[in-house]
Amino acid sequence: MTELEKFRKEKDDFFRYSPQSPLTPAQRKEFKGLAYFAENPALDLELPLELYPDPEVVTMQTSTGEIQEYSKIGQVRFQVDGEEAALQIYEAAGDGYLFLPFVDATAPGETYGAGRYLEPEVTGPNRVRLNFNLAYNPYCAYNENWSCPIPPRENRLKVRIEAGEMNFH
């Protein structure tokens, strides 16, 4: 079993059995596991993070109409199947955790229409790892009672990110 397969099995177990699962009790009874794209090594990227000298505080609307603040700290640029792409990286309220909400061309047909999330891993000075195989749906994709930030327009890609979690059925 690969590390990714192990990770996905643990996530399915969490969704199925944990009281903190975003699934309702009725959903858990019918739950057979999340759907994923096959592992795509080409979308496990280590990239330079172009930091902004003065991070801008931005607000993101959530799925329930609330507002959350983030610092836009920098951007990454990369290619997918020969197509150029760029995404903004955010930090929530100075907590040190990086946050990358995005929508790509697989939405809404194959992936959640409101977007998916990724947590970039800092790998060195001004470098991050974006493993899109770990891209996941926000909890509001499973249960409308959750409030989830909606990816801003600047993080809407025209390319297909065929990695990570797919639509929940």
Tens-digit pLDDT profile for residues 101-128: 999 999 999 999 999 999 999 999 999 9
Confidence grade of residue 130 (pLDDT, cut at 50, 70, 90): very high
**Tokens representing residue 102 in the block:** 């995005």
Give the separation between CA 168 and CA 124, rounded to whole angstroms.
34
First-to-last alpha carbon distance for the chain, in angstroms, is 25
Whether 55 shows a pLDDT value over 80: the answer reads: yes
pLDDT at position 96: 79
> Which 8-state DSSP code applies to residue 164?
S
CA distance 87 to 69: 18
Query: According to the model, what pLDDT value does residue 148 have?
Result: 94
Q: Tell me the chain's radius of gyration from C-alpha atoms.
A: 16
| Average pLDDT of every residue of the chain | 95
Task: Please tell me the distance from the alpha carbon of residue 106 to that of residue 165, in angstroms, as a whole number.
Answer: 11
Its pTM stands at 0.94
Percent of the chain residues past pLDDT 90, beyond the cut: 94
Q: How many CA atoms lie within 13 A of 41 on its CB side?
A: 2
pLDDT, residue 139, reads: 96
pLDDT band at 93 (very low <50, low <70, confident <90, very high): confident
Residue 94 is predicted with a pLDDT of 65
Task: Please report the pLDDT score of residue 92 as a whole number.
Answer: 85
Selection from 24, 17, 34, 25 nearest residue 169 by Cα? 34
Q: What is the pLDDT of residue 169?
A: 72
- State how far the Cα of 147 lies from the Cα of 169, in Å rounded to an integer: 20
CA nearest neighbour of 42 among 145, 160, 165, 168: 160
CB atoms within 10 A of CB 121: 13
Separation of alpha carbons 63 and 69, rounded Å: 14
